[in-house]
A and B are shown apart, each in its own frame.
Chain A
């Protein structure tokens, strides 16, 4: 049981950090390649 509880904790950590890592790399790529969202501004 102890091992399972620890494994569940590690899984949660990996999921959260994995998603954040993916988004962070994506944001870095977006920044480096000047990827942007064109939102219309009249002025």
Chain B
């Protein structure tokens, strides 16, 4: 009796394995059906809302996938920005590595004795024009201050070929931003013609991350890593020399791009002010060891002083504070991993504390003025 029962289960197991492993027409049709269903599910169910809520973290390729983080985080802020004043730190890897957002939040809450949320919208190599896209998304719900990194080194922000190759040619950010499209037109680049379907319009963003999505469904959503420079390898002599070269390269096209550069900043300030959001400019930081080499040349000093004077005047005209805080942080060469990225925790804490004083001052004035 028992033997017959076992044999029956064994036979059923064989049948199951047969079905699971042998090719057959039903299996082929089923396979095509599953693949088509998945495609239809992506086309119909994937929306910016899903990216901001239930899908948050599932499309991150890894903890250093800055652009997937920026997409989800920006969409999240645009849906769920808190009713109290908040801060957005925006910029490239320079500021990303220099400021601890959570520590800044704690500092501001202690100073102002009220809830403050700090968001970090930073990514390595983030274009100035992409920042307009991010701000365009959040400006309707967000209230508070946007601290925007300014730097003279954004030479490529105005290179048409580079814009096409790196922005419109790829879906770095999976978002619709009308103001960004306007900016691309102003830069002489034809913006992407949207079809109106989120998945199809940003298929490159999603297709590149499909294996990661499968893995994340099993292992859970990925947490973004806001600081990574401690884990980087120090630059070789050749890499160090190359990075110093990039620090002075912007000079070649500074005059050519100056008006366009400040034009973008001006439109950005106006865009935010239309929605009652204030802005502060934060100058990027540099390794003193790199500065001592690049500023040894009088031609570099001359053009850098010109930039400083231009940006200061511009900020005054726009009534925007301009903070160049590196001198107060007393950075040493050993605080940096390379020419512009901080690696030491103490240095980051120091810089974050100095920044917190400025932001707290600005925010407290704003709070007093608001009814």
Contact = CB atoms under 8 A, between A and B. Distances in A.
Nearest to B8: A1
Interface string B192-207: 0000000000011111
Contacts of A15: 30, 34
A30 B20 contact: no
B328 to A, nearest CB: 25
Interface residues on B, range: 35 or more
Contact of A14 (B18, B27, B206, B232): B27
Contact of A35 (B39, B207, B214, B242): B207
Interface string B1-44: 00000000001110111111100101101111111011100000
Contacts of B15: 2, 5-6, 9
A14 B67 contact: no
B239 interface: yes
B30 A18 contact: yes
Contacts, number: 143
Contacts of A42: 93, 124, 229, 232, 235, 243, 337-338, 341
Given A18-B33, A37-B208, A10 B20 contact: yes
A4 to B, nearest CB: 8
Interface residues of A, number: 35
Contacts of A29: 203, 207
B123 interface: yes
A26 B12 CA distance: 36
A37 B209 contact: yes
Contacts of B211: 23, 27
Interface of A: 1-2, 5-15, 17-19, 21-23, 25-27, 29-30, 33-43
Given A9-B16, A30-B204, 11 more contacts: A19-B34, A22-B38, A23-B214, A26-B210, A29-B207, A33-B207, A35-B171, A37-B65, A37-B68, A42-B232, A42-B337
29 contacts: A1-B12, A2-B12, A8-B16, A9-B16, A10-B20, A12-B19, A13-B21, A13-B27, A14-B30, A14-B33, A18-B30, A22-B35, A22-B210, A26-B206, A30-B207, A34-B170, A37-B61, A37-B65, A37-B208, A38-B67, A38-B124, A38-B125, A38-B172, A39-B66, A40-B123, A42-B93, A42-B235, A42-B337, A42-B341
